[in-house]
A and B are shown apart, each in its own frame.
Chain A
Amino acid sequence: MKFFNHIPSGPLEQKWDRHCFELPLVNPANKRKHHIIVVGTGLAGASASASLAELGYQVKTFCIQDSPRRAHSIAAQGGINAAKNYPGDGDSIRRLFYDTIKGGDFRSREANVYRLAQISNQIIDQCVAQGVPFAREYGGLLANRSFGGAQVSRTFYARGQTGQQLLLGAYGALMRQVDKGGVRLFPRHEMMDLAVVEGQVAGVVTRNLLTGEIKSHFAQAVILATGGYGNIFYLSTNAMHSNASAAWRCYKKGAFFANPCFTQIHPTCIPRSGDHQSKLTLLSESLRNDGRIWVPKKSGDKRVPENIPEGERDYYLERIYPSFGNLTPRDLASRQAKFQVDAGKGVGPTGEAVYLDFKEALERRGKNFLSEKYGNLFQIYEKITGENPYEKPMRIYPAVHYTMGGLWVDYNLESTVKGLFVLGEANFSDHGANRLGASALMQGLADGYFIIPRTIARHLVERSSLEEKKVKKALEESVKEVQKRLDKVLQIKGGKTAGAIHRELGYLLWEYVGMLRNEKGLIQVITAIQGLKDQFWKELFIPGEQHYKNAELEKALRVADFLELAELMAQDSLERKESCGSHFREEYQSQEQEALRDDEHFCHVSVWEHTEGKKALLHKEPLEFKEVSLSVRSYK
């Protein structure tokens, strides 16, 4: 199948404005005739629902949580980037664009990233107008801080709860539209399938998570804002219910999947404490503004940190990357931590951790300064570990956090299924092979508030009207398929829980498709995943039935999809014979253990097409760089 990215022609700076002008408009009186479904109520989903309803479209919004306010964007801590240049430290739209392209290791589209940087400033205006209580300076102006991969301060924040405050702003806007009748809300509903007629969306099928009721919903356009697939690793910083199923169902109905191997491992998480661990907790990367990362110089040094003299500590990030120091991008900081641990220099009871030390900042700026900036993060750490970071250095270790890969979309955020749009972390579009800190919130809100309300018009105006009979049939068939899948998993009467199989899958992926990957391991792991999939369909056990809240059933269906996606991730890692950003193939590294990109052969987006019963088909979308020159990403 052919697909086009629809990037507008003309100079980079004018593409988006021109595109906005050239897109058709929908007459205000006609807007209410269009039914749009939004799945997910995180930053992207809530902002899209609200903005589309404000324009006059009829919106139905679904989420799996009991309230739209609980979507996982709520947990984002550190901040949101924008090119306002309020501190006057040399920032600009162009610099934010450049930093993001470089941070993504030159594996994202110039046009998309430039648009993101352009829109970033409007997002801040919008959120401030909603009453988001951003941090302020004494004069009443907005405050900024620094994040990894940037040498300017462009991150806006609300203590360590920026995601919460932005989401509550979008949730308020959404609830305002619910009140006005523009949005109908369906909490505790999970999308189970996408109905497609002649390559165009016809609607979705959902399951009520409380009653088990399966229902179809017609729509002229479907917007998927269901987040990333980080939970495929079992242990991640994602919420327990974050999953890939809605996206995966769309993939199986014809939406292509892009760069599944690009998964972000975040450097500053609290290390796991034992086998009972159900999830990992992130500590915002903003901590690296004032915390210094170190390990003992000698491997196997088991002394408590206080007893290790200054001269015997290795502040390895400051040593290896003197110009960015502790604020190197996430992929590098994580990989270096792994190298230290693999060399036997890891600290703490498990040896799988490095120190993040605030002693120097405490002496320089005092306790009040730190508590105002990071108070809640220090509290989170203390609650989980029982240790006080004002007195003892924190122990941190990388954990799976974000997925840059996702459903393929064009410049309009439309997938290869006509009328299916994908927003936020669920799409692949802006972060290349590595996302910079504080850019996820920016992208989610750019997509939802400012891009989709404009780009959806083309589809609505130009779509072919589908025969009612065919739509009805597609929706009915979709319902039947869903019921069949439910029956199938409920019938397996083995003895293993979905959780146990998920844990095994997570272990495999962390070992072989984690921070370091190599050909041999990837080939092995594909076979192992297939084995696990067989086991799932033979040995699973789900108690209870379909018609009430059945968390085991929900989990099993999500794990079934994770098992399929895992294979594609490994396949994609295997095909990409280079190292770039988060994707580090051990075969392709420099003598200094830095990633070796291969621009000649891999300067493309890997786009996977589902084929029934056969191996997924690989397409390539070439990436063209006209404004920036491809260079070795250096943070030294």
Chain B
Amino acid sequence: MLLKLKIWRQKRGQKKGSFENYEMDHLSPDMSFLEMLDQLNEDLVGQKKVPVAFDHDCREGICGSCSLVINGNPHGPHAGSAVCQLHLRSFKDKEEIWIEPFRAKAFPVLQDLIVDRSAFDRIIQSGAYVSVNTGQAPEAHSILVEKAKAEEAFSHAACIGCGACVAVCKNASASLFVAAKVSHLALLPQGKVEKKARVLKMVKQMEKEGFGACTNTGACSRACPKEISLHSIARMNREYFKSIF
């Protein structure tokens, strides 16, 4: 198959970039989207040109490195999957595809399709953990967790920290990311002790990083490769209000 690519190119250190056109032919529909970019880069290197820089690593939808917006959708057209899990069979022959980096004030573009998501690390750093030193833990079975609660906590803990929620949000809000962590730990007995301080610190850091506010459109949850539920944001708000009163 043939695809017409329009890819965002931005040199390191420059504030602005632009779209460039590339045409790829003789592609197999079984190829993954990132394998197509590999192919494009091999071709560019062959022509002694600078290849397109993009973040990627595990290619199994779990490391959260990939950060592409495809035809306006973070991670492409499918729900519940990351770009690395996208295959060319999802596109039509001769289709035009626009490829951009995740865009948000708090995620500055570094080079081509690579953005800086260190703001997420700083939010985690502010308090997204249970404060337990190595060796201080009690016997595991002394902490009982209701099965349904464990499952629910897991569904929030599944966040891969990719930032698609921010990229898709009209306000560039990081609420789903923060709420997923807040909910994961607030649901478990281990996380209860610090839950008030945790939610306050994380929300404060989120605001400091320049993420926008949440207006509950739910776009984040739809773009999330792990389909993290919007309920987490409701829980975060509840935890937040419980903490300030």
Report which A residues bind B (CB closer than 8 A).
Answer: 47, 50-51, 54, 65-70, 72, 74-75, 84, 86, 122, 124-126, 128-131, 133-142, 158-159, 161, 164-165, 168, 171-173, 175-176, 178-179, 185, 187, 210-211, 239-241, 273-274, 276-279, 281-282, 379-380, 383-384, 386, 449-450, 453, 495, 497, 499-500, 541-544, 548-549, 551-552
Contact = CB atoms under 8 A, between A and B. Distances in A.
B91 interface: no
A66 B117 contact: yes
B145 to A, nearest CB: 5
Given A453-B134, A495-B46, A67 B118 contact: yes
Interface string B21-58: 00000001011101100110110111011110101111
A141 B35 CA distance: 43
Interface stretch (B1-9, B136-144, B164-172, B231-239): B136-144
Given A497-B42, A551-B51, A125 B139 contact: yes
Contacts of B151: 133, 136
11 contacts: A54-B134, A74-B64, A122-B137, A128-B137, A133-B154, A140-B145, A141-B141, A158-B157, A380-B61, A543-B48, A552-B51
Contact of A161 (B39, B45, B62): B62
A133 B157 contact: yes
A386 B30 CA distance: 9
Contacts of A141: 141, 144
Nearest to B32: A278
Contacts of B221: none
Interface of B: 11-13, 28, 30-32, 34-35, 38-39, 41-42, 44-46, 48-51, 53, 55-65, 80-81, 85, 87, 89, 110-111, 114, 116-118, 120-121, 124-141, 143-147, 150-151, 153-154, 157-158, 160-161, 184-185, 188, 190-191
B63 A75 contact: yes
Contact of A544 (B42, B46, B50, B140): B50
A62 to B, nearest CB: 14
Given A139-B144, A175-B129, A239-B59, A551 B134 contact: no
A197 B103 CA distance: 47
A140 B144 contact: yes
Nearest to A500: B42
Given A383-B85, A384-B85, 6 more contacts: A129-B138, A133-B145, A133-B157, A179-B127, A278-B34, A552-B41
B158 A161 contact: yes
Contacts of A125: 137-140
Nearest to B65: A70
Given A54-B133, A131-B190, A551-B51, A65 B30 contact: no
A549 to B, nearest CB: 5
B53 A551 contact: yes
Contacts of B157: 133, 158, 165, 168
Contacts of A211: 12
A141 B142 CA distance: 9
Contacts of A69: 64, 121, 124, 161
B54 to A, nearest CB: 8
A178 B209 CA distance: 17
A549 B130 contact: no
B192 to A, nearest CB: 10
Nearest to B131: A176
Contacts of B136: 129
A70 B130 contact: no
Interface centre among B42, B58, B85, B154 (most CB of A within 10 A): B58
A187 B136 CA distance: 29
B189 to A, nearest CB: 9
A216 to B, nearest CB: 23
